[in-house]
Amino acid sequence: MNFEEQPSLKRIFDGDLDIDSITEKISAAGLGRLIPSKTLLFLCEIQSCPSARTALKFIVEDGRFDVIASGSLLGLHYREVSSYPVGFEHKVEMHSLDFEEFLWANGIDEGTIDGLRRSYERRKPVDEFIHHRMMELFNITIEKIR
């Protein structure tokens, strides 16, 4: 659930925050079938829905579903949460990928990356197919920045 992309999803966390009420509303929203021990709830841009952040504690305590919450502005909106889920959040600071990490994430083998590095160091041209593919991937990163 992305609360910035679909603000209407915030209403799932209006009213009671027990897991049965939440899962019933998720189901009614047509977000898919929730299968205990197999469903991962991903709450994206959670800072936009403070009651969802409060509900984290109840979702975790229930234990039927795993949950991940992310938010690019969490540090700015922490005061809006009515009951901070102490002990139920694990903060992980994320940073943007560099191009090499982006290549790994796109299945590019370490050997290919080493070959690119060697070509660069020796000032030798890269195979045309590899060059074309790297440029495709590079252009994806540029489009994401824009």
Give residue-wise pLDDT tens across range 69-90: 888 755 544 455 545 555 656 6
Print burial letters for 17-37: b (CB count within 10 Å at least 16), e (below 16): bebebbbebbeeeeeeebeee
For the chain, the domains span 7-80, 99-145
**Per-residue DSSP letter, 18:** S
pLDDT band at 101 (very low <50, low <70, confident <90, very high): very high
Half-sphere exposure (CA, 13 Å, Cβ side) for 111?
Answer: 0
What predicted TM-score, i.e. pTM, was given to this entire model? 0.57
